[in-house]
Structure 1
Amino acid sequence: MKITLRLIKYMRPYLGKIILSMIAMAGVGLMTGASAWLIKPAMDKIFIAKDETMIYLIPIAIITVFVLKGIFRYSQGYLMKYTEEHVVMKIREELVEHLHKLPMSFSEKWKTGELMSRVTNDINKLQSSISTFATLVLQIFNIIALIAVVILQNWKLGIIATIVLPVAVIPIVHFGKKLRRVGRKTQESVADMMNILQEEISGIKTIQAFLKEKTMLERFKRINRRYYDVTMKAARSSLISSPITEAIGAVGLAIVIWMGGKEVINGTMTPGAFSSFIAASMMLYDPAKRLTNANNSIQQGLAAAERVFFIMDIKPEIENKANSVTLRNNPELIEFSHTYMKYNKEERYVLKDLSFSVKKGQKVAIVGPTGAGKTSMADLMLRFYDPEKGSVLFDHKDIRSFTLESLRDKISIVTQDIFLFNDTIANNISFGNNEITFEAIKQVALAAYADRFIERLPEKYNTLIGDRGTRLSGGERQRISIARAILKNSPILILDEATSALDSMAEEIVQRAIDNLMKNRTVFIIAHRLSTIRNADFIVVLNDGKIEAIGNHNALLERSVLYKRLHELQVNAKNSC
């Protein structure tokens, strides 16, 4: 019931159109009843009484009834479709907007395919159920009109015919509950299948390189078979309800024909009235049967709605506080003050008692072995996560006191794992900012040493670069990312292993682009390669989430055992090459 009420809230803005649609549905029902009623005068007045006037009037009446029925049906269909599309569009947009607000921990726990399934398949099921709900209401109006016809023709037979309807509803209710349970399992199986497909399509190069096509196919077959089993279970429940409803209706119709036939023979009922009665009765069971199918679809839609609203009800862990203020000035001082962090409440701390400060315009390098907590520091500054204890301060103010939008506006980040969209180079650099001119895009591409390779492409800045930029090399993708960061022009820059995946030649070009990017900014350089951070104002050495030492390159070679070991390992590796 809660799910239904929640869906009704989304429909409230379209109440006027829904009311007009209901009126049109009533019109369809009225015309359906009228079409059954016209059989009586057609039989009695034309074929039995031989009334010539009726030969002209009744055909005109029949045409009028069906034309009006068509107008009413189109009106109700269009109005409900308008409402349905707007409601679903609103839910889908709210779901995606909510996904954008959820923390990194949510994205790390949930599978991409599962989320895609909820945004697409589940909402499609929900949309189908809203459309079917309109069909259900229409059939109710048809049933009311046809019941009126059968009772007006013969109230005794009418009562018998209508008594069967409540009995026919029993299987609808029983199988509807079952379908809702099965519907949830069906949607879960679809989500599993989409997740497998997403992984296999994204990882096709790895699959082929390791000759694992058969292994991955078997994995997909298992999920596909599970989906087949659940779908067939749903089909059995859905398909059996309609024959049961029809069988119950047939029993009622047989009784009515037997009793009605006796009344015609006895002369207490005219053949026309009986024909009209039979036609209305037979027409009555068709909407009753459609109610069964409508209920099946609605139950599956409600199961899908539960899955959609489950995601929408997850509370964002990182959000603006009630008294958040806008961060307007570029920070003169950035501090980590006794900062502790963990990615999950049950896990160990990944950062422990971090304390150091960075002045405006300084370049600070963060180094340490894998898993030391280097990237976690960047996550804290961008508020992808909040500290468990301690704080990160801008000008002695906790960054949690600033709005997320203004905080993140002050920070640019370039990472090793560059994410580019399947769009043009120009749009990837501007990143949705429609106010940026082409001249500005070209200027930042020049600063990022990207203009030369872009100009060699067939469509230049309008070249589509493929999913995640697969048509570009690693160095080219990195330079697009740097151009994007230059264009954002934030006063704080985070370079997270920005050149670690590049070869020496590509690294040299990218490093020149990074040098342009770092000008007049406060920079945090997270790096494995110590050769890239020698010119930093100071270096923070992390080990197991704690600061082991702080100083410049030469000082750390003397004071930090870990830094000296890292340096020696890299020097030896370089010499061995």
Structure 2
Amino acid sequence: MSKHNLTSVDHFGSKQLIKRCAACFWPYRWRVAFAFLSALVVSACNPAIAHLVKPTMNEIFIARDADALIIVPLQFLAVILTKCLARFGQVYVMNIVGYQVLHNLRQQLFSKIIYLPMRFFEESRVGMLMSRVLGDVNAIRQSVPNMIMIIRSICECGMLLGYVIYLNPFLALKTLVVLPLGLLCILYFSKKLRKVGRKLQVQAADINSVTQESLSGVKVVKAFNTEETEKSKFAKESYGVVHLSKKQVLASELSSRTMEFIGGISISFALWYGGSQVVAGNIDAGSFFSFVTALFMLYEPIKKINDANKNVQQALASAERVFGLLDSTEIACEKGGDAAFEPPLGSIEFDHVTFSYPTAGEEAVSDFHLSVAQGEQIALVGPSGSGKTTLVNLIPRFYDVCRGDIRINGRSLPEYDLGSLRRNIGMVSQDAVLFNATIRENICYGMDDVDEAQLVDAAKAAFAHDFISELPEGYETMCGERGVKLSGGQKQRITIARALLKDPALLILDEATSALDTQAERIVQKALDNLMENRTSIVIAHRLSTVLNADKIVVMQKGRIVGMGNHEALLESCDLYNTLHSLQFCQSLSEEDARAMSAGE
């Protein structure tokens, strides 16, 4: 499996997967044991029912025994009652255990995924992850219950087989000679079903991804009038599911019908040969009908083995995908050090930092060296793709540096506990992320025991309190998915209120006003000024007008520092800064200049 994505999956042996699935049910072993004992009781009931056919025929219908007319129906009722209670115990208990295992596995899987590094999410599709957490785990839930069904059916077969041999060994031997063909059929189609099931799970993940991407970007789809294109993409993935499902149904039905035909051969022979023995007077009618009843019952659990095996194969295909992620040593969760970060923030040192993305040929940040003192406001400017956002993402360790080091208060970042480090860093970006929760819950996100006064003060400082108060439900207003019910400026002010409430030692602003109109930008900029007051800040600026008063402006190009100083000094000493300033404040851009800048010249 790739170190950072789920495009492939390791294949495991059936024995290994069954042991891994069984381990999930081990905490509930006593309930599973109860279900297993109940299954054994159910298995014993069918031979008992077949046995009661003999006295029914011989004593009630032939001998016309009045006592048997009372005793045999009562015995039959007792057997049926026992079977019903045992079957209920088996099915109910195993389903309850199955849902508990489902819950535990989903928790384990989500817990691992949520702690994986950012690089993993950039290289994995959300729809595929959802398929693992929802679909694959649900299939595993059925693994042990179906295995118990297989064991119960095997026991049932064994008991019925023993009974027919007890009734007439010679007839049983002749009748059951085709039974090994049925077992070979099950083994052959198991491999087919496992292979198709594995492909079907992958295809289901793909259609989830396409659906999620199309619906999440529905505004772009409509803006570019690409509904037909998206429809075609979905149809292609949907056809893939249908195509594989057809193969699965074909293998399943061929398996079932082959088993049924083999059973038909056996029963037809029993009726012909056994019937001739009854006519000849070698077997009594009661024994013959009891034998045929047991034979009919014998092929029912064989079909159940076949059906349960289909479910087990699907569960094992899903288990490969789930445990391939859970147990992978390559896909590792983020790890921090043992040192707790304690404010105040004295200094940040970028010591010749270099970083590159695995799939990129060039370095995103190259030999970056900078010192930031407490309370300083540092502005990062430069053309798109110059490494500004990548650089600030290294501070909360969304990525780890390839070479060099970043130190806060003299201590290297990997030495800090990740939780304490990130709790003391506030980030506000141009993409204001809100959850489908109330405004109160979004502002207080990640913080406990926030009182009303603190909440309102943070909202007022972010210039959000007034518009929130005008909403019908105030702070209890639902934001909608990704804050869809609010305007861009409103969403940004809520994220600023969230950062104010967090009161971080270090503030990182990543083009926080670039997506806003002039009026909204001015309001948000005022809120940002309140947020940055007396706080160490690193600001990525799209508009130079917002960082003219920064303590230090760092000009970046192709991941390197090409200029550093205040506004006036840079206008004199840095050609790139001068160009950026001219573009924004003085002159229009020619086509020649645009091509040169796009090439990074």
Segment drifting more, 94-103 vs 123-132: 123-132
Please tell me the residue identity of whatever aligns with 2:571.
Answer: L
Partner of 2:6: none
From 265, 269, 275, the equivalent of 2:283 is 269
The 1:388–1:281 alpha-carbon spacing in structure 2 relative to 1, beyond 3 Å, is: same
Are 2:162 and 1:137 aligned?
A: no
Counterpart position of 1:241: 255
CA distance in 2, matches of 1:163, 1:392: 76
Report the residue type matching 2:400 in the other structure.
D
Identity %: 39
In structure 1, the partner of 2:500 is: 486
Q: 1:317 to 1:7 in 2, by over 3 A?
A: closer
1:363-442 to 2 correspondences below 5 Å = 363-431=377-445, 433-442=447-456
Aligned length: 575
Matched, 1:197 2:211: yes
CA gap of 1:50–1:256, structure 2 versus 1, over 3 A, is: same
Q: Alpha-carbon deviation of 1:282?
A: 0.3
What secondary structure is seen at the aligned counterpart in 2 of 1:192?
A: helix
2:70 counterpart of 1:47? no
1:362 aligns with 2:376: yes
Aligned counterparts of 1:193 and 1:447: Cα–Cα separation in 2 = 45
What is the distance in 2 between the residues matched to 1:281 and 1:202? 57
- Note the C-alpha offset of 1:574: 9.9
Amino acid at match of 2:306: T
Of residues 143, 164, 168 in structure 2, which corresponds to 1:150?
Answer: 164
> Post-superposition shift, 1:194?
1.3
The structural deviation recorded for 1:128 is 3.6
Q: Secondary structure at the match of 1:38?
A: helix
Per the TM alignment, residue 434 of structure 1 is displaced from its structure 2 partner at its CA by 4.9
* 1:327 CA drift (Å): 2.2
What is the SS of the residue equivalent to 2:282? coil
Alpha-carbon distance, 1:24 to partner: 0.6
Indicate the residue corresponding to 1:57 in structure 2: 71
Which residue of structure 2 aligns with residue 531 of structure 1?
A: 545
* Cα offset, 1:259, TM superposition: 2.7
CA deviation map 1:14-65 (0-9, x unaligned): 1111111100100111122212211112222212222222211111111111
- State the alpha-carbon separation in 2 of the partners of residues 68 and 573 from structure 1: 91
CA distances 1:39-95 after superposition (whole Å, capped 9, x unpaired):
112222212222222211111111111111111111111221122112222221111
Deviation at 1:158, TM superposition (A): 2.9
1:367–1:541 Cα contact (<8 Å) kept:
yes
Instruction: Select which of 265, 282, 294 maps to 1:280.
Output: 294
Q: Partners of 2:333 and 2:206 in 1: how far apart?
A: 28
Contact 1:431/1:484 (CA < 8 Å) preserved in 2? yes
What is the CA distance between 1:127 and its match in structure 2?
A: 2.6
Superimposed CA distance per residue, residues 496-549 of structure 1 (whole angstroms, 9 cap, x where no aligned partner): 111110011001111121122223321111111111112221111111101112
Alignment correspondent of 1:211 = 225
Q: Is the 8 A contact 2:325 2:331 kept in 1?
A: no
How far the C-alpha of 1:433 sits from its partner, in A, is 4.0
What amino acid is the match of 1:122? Answer: D
Is residue 28–residue 69 contact of structure 1 (8 Å, CA) maintained in 2?
A: yes
Which whole-Å CA distance do the structure 2 matches of 1:399 and 1:162 have between them? 72
Distance, in Å, in 2 between the alignment partners of 1:446 and 1:142 is 73
Q: CA deviation at 1:11?
A: 1.5
Q: CA deviation at 1:151?
A: 2.2
Distance 1:196 1:128, change over 3 A: same
Q: Report the TM-score when normalising by structure 2.
A: 0.92
Matches within 5 A, 1:40-189: 40-189=54-203
Q: 2:535 aligned with 1:517, yes or no?
A: no
With 128-137 and 211-220 compared, the bigger mean Cα shift is at 128-137
Shift of 1:187: 1.5
Change (3 A) 1:277 1:535: same
Q: Per-residue deviation at 1:314?
A: 5.8
**One-letter amino acid of the counterpart of residue 213, structure 2:** E
Cα offset for 1:306? Answer: 1.1
Secondary structure of the 2:586 match is helix
Cα 1:311–1:411 shift into 2, 3 Å: same
Partner of 1:5: 19
Question: How far apart are 1:469 and its partner, in Å?
Answer: 0.7
Q: Which residue of 2 aligns with 1:348?
A: 362
Alignment partners' CA distance in 2, 1:248 and 1:286: 12
State the Cα distance separating 1:355 from its structure 2 match. 1.0
CA contact 1:318–1:385 (8 Å) conserved in 2: no
Counterpart Cα distance in 1 of 2:446 and 2:334? 23
Post-superposition offset of 1:142: 2.2
Structure-1 separation of matches of 2:400 and 2:437: 33
Partner residue, 1:498: 512
Question: What stretches of structure 1 of length at least 5 have no aligned partner?
Answer: none
Distance 1:483 1:574 in 2: 37
Alignment match, 2:598: none
Pick closer, same or farther for the CA change 1:527–1:216 going to 2, 3 Å.
same
RMSD, aligned α-carbons = 2.0
